[in-house]
Structure formats: structure tokens, C-alpha cells
Amino acid sequence: MQIYLPIAELPVSIFLIFGMAAAVGFISGLFGVGGGFLMTPLLVFLGIPPGVAVATGSAQIAASSMTGVLTFWRRKALDVKLGLVLVGGGIVGTFLGVLFFNAMRRAGYFDLVLVLSYVTLLGSVGGLMLIESLKATFMPKRVKVRKPSRLDGRWWFETLPFPVKFERSGLMISIVPVIALGLFIGFAGAVLGIGGGFIVVPALIYFFRVPTAMVVGTSLFQILFTMIAATMLHAVTNQSVDFVLALILIIGSVIGAQFGARAGQNLKGEHFRLLLAILVFGVAVRFAIEIGVKPNEPFSIEQQETRQ
């Protein structure tokens, strides 16, 4: 069944979009990632203009993270204080990211910046996680031996000024690196059209040693607020939020996210990290192939956006 999208201005198959949204929603609920790094490329692949895909995707990410936040909130698996600090840094980062986005676009390097950023960011994060979780899965003894060293092995940035206590996560660390992380996520999110969950989750686990149980909820909390702001920003500045597309994506993904969140509860910590690592690394490889292999069609047409 085809439906015409009023802002994207083309017809799409409802069931195809719905199924895709449910699949991305499942992954999003499972790992506490927004799923933007999957959804945006998939929508573009289906022919939705990139601007509309990014803007509408943010509304969908807001909806599925809302569902997740409520679930984790009830389970008390959410560190609001840590989340709010991340959001604070994220707002500044988003602003800087939009400035950078516009500058790159004017210079004509945006496509290249986008793909290279995806490859570097997803590749390095995914690669590191993959190595670590493979070690943890297949050589569990070595990890156990390391555990005692956790107390004295603090990162240098944890002892910077302005220490804050995050009771929920059982942490006492400087606020500076947390704000810096939020800032970086906000920046990357605005430039790449992603929520940044795949960076927040591993960063909280590896750099701040936030308990895995607390990580997903906190990450979703931060994503929720960033995406509400992004949706409003897109609707007001470039009018590319497609209401009909958003509705299909939202219904598909919130249902998918429910099953994902439940499936995540039965996953072991190491397996969780391994699967997320494979996913993130896989997307990086996909983007690397895109720029590394001779394209079938070297030509592309880009429509100039006509302001109405």
C-alpha cells in the first residue's frame, strides 16, 4: 500500500517503512541507542531527501527514546543527574555543530565530511568495543584478574576540578569530562543527524565506569532531550519534518523498541557489548565500502533546495 508523503513529496510503501522502523526500534530498545545511524541512511536509500530523513528521523528517535526512558525510569535504571549534565553540554555542542554543518555545506565538502566522520567515528568506537568484548567473551579469566586494578586505575580526567557525586551510578568524578562528552555528542549529533547513543553508551561504560544497568537509561534520557530540541529546530528553520512519515516511523519504532528493551534484559553484559560492537562496526564497514569501492554509478544529481 502506497502513501504520499506531503513534505518529502513522494509516495512510499507503508509496510516497508513500518517494518524498517520496527526493526530499527528493536535495535534502539535493545542497546539504548537512538538508531539514527541506521534509520537516516536507510531512509535516504529508499529515496527520501536527506534533509527530510534527518529532520523526521529526529522525531522518531524522540518517540522511541521516550518509551525507553519511561521503562528505565520505572526500573530506577536511570541516572537523572548524570543525564542532565550530559544534556547541558549537549545543547552547547548542538549549537556549535549547526554552525559547523552550515559552514561545511557552503564550502561543498559536506558529503565527504559526513561519510568520513561516520567511518572514523563508528569504525574506531566499534573496533575498540569489538576487541574488548571479544576478549571478555572468549578470555573471561583475564578480565577477572584485571578487576581489582579498577580502584587505582582511574583515568586522568576523572580527577579534574569540580568533582560531583552521581549517587545513582555510585560515581565521584569531575564534571568537566562529562560536560565535554555531552558537548561532543551534541556536536556530532547536529552534524551527522544521529542521537549519539552509540558513542554515549561505550563512553559511559569505558571512561566513566557507569554500571551497565544504568548506562542505557541515562543514554536514552540524554537522547530524548537532544532530539526534542532537534525536531523543533528542524521544523522551524528548514520545514523538513514530514508529519506523515514521522507517524509511520514512530508507530513502527515504539513497538519495536518495546520488544528490544525486553530482549535486552535477558542479555549478558559481555554479549550485549559484543552485539553492539558488531552492529556499530558493521555500519562503519558499510560506509567504508561506499567510499572505498568503485561506484556503479559515479554520477549523482543533487536537487537545490527551493525555499517556498
Q: Examine residue 250 and tell whether it contacts other proteins (CB under 8 A).
A: yes
Q: Examine residue 303 and tell whether it contacts other proteins (CB under 8 A).
A: yes
Torsion angle, alpha carbons of 32, 275, 122, 282, to 10: -130
Q: In the complex, what is the shortest distance from the CB of residue 14 to other proteins, in angstroms, rounded to a whole number?
A: 10
Strand-pairing partners, residue 164, are 173
Give dist(CA 296, CA 273) in Å, integer. Answer: 35
Q: Examine residue 7 and tell whether it contacts other proteins (CB under 8 A).
A: yes
Which residue type, as a one-letter code, is found at position 209? R
Nearer to other proteins, 195 or 202 (CB): 195
Give dist(CA 57, CA 7) in Å, integer. Answer: 13
Nearer to other proteins, 186 or 202 (CB): 186
Give dist(CA 111, CA 127) in Å, integer. Answer: 23
Task: Give the pairing type, strands 163-166 and 10-13.
Answer: unpaired
Give dist(CA 40, CA 212) in Å, integer. Answer: 27
Q: Judged by CB under 8 A, which of 30, 59, 183, 274 binds other proteins?
A: 59
Q: Judged by CB under 8 A, which of 121, 122, 204, 255 binds other proteins?
A: 255
Give dist(CA 229, CA 241) in Å, integer. Answer: 13
Give dist(CA 163, CA 165) in Å, integer. Answer: 7
Maximal CA-CA distance, the chain:
64
Q: Examine residue 107 and tell whether it contacts other proteins (CB under 8 A).
A: no
Q: Judged by CB under 8 A, which of 178, 205, 241, 283 binds other proteins?
A: 241
Q: Examine residue 293 and tell whether it contacts other proteins (CB under 8 A).
A: yes
Nearer to other proteins, 91 or 244 (CB): 244
Q: Judged by CB under 8 A, which of 122, 199, 214, 254 binds other proteins?
A: 254
Binding mask 28-57 for other proteins (x = CB under 8 A): -------------------x----------
Q: Examine residue 138 and tell whether it contacts other proteins (CB under 8 A).
A: no
Q: Which residue has 578470555 as its cell numbers? A: 139
DSSP character string of 220-258: HHHHHHHHHHHHHHHHHHT----HHHHHHHHHHHHHHHH
Q: Judged by CB under 8 A, which of 75, 144, 154, 165 binds other proteins?
A: 75
Q: In the complex, what is the shortest distance from the CB of residue 200 to other proteins, in angstroms, rounded to a whole number?
A: 19
Residues that bind other proteins (CB under 8 A): 2-4, 6-7, 9-11, 47, 59-60, 62-67, 69-71, 74-75, 111-112, 228, 231-232, 234-236, 239, 241, 243-244, 246-247, 250-251, 254-255, 257-258, 291-295, 297-304, 306, 308
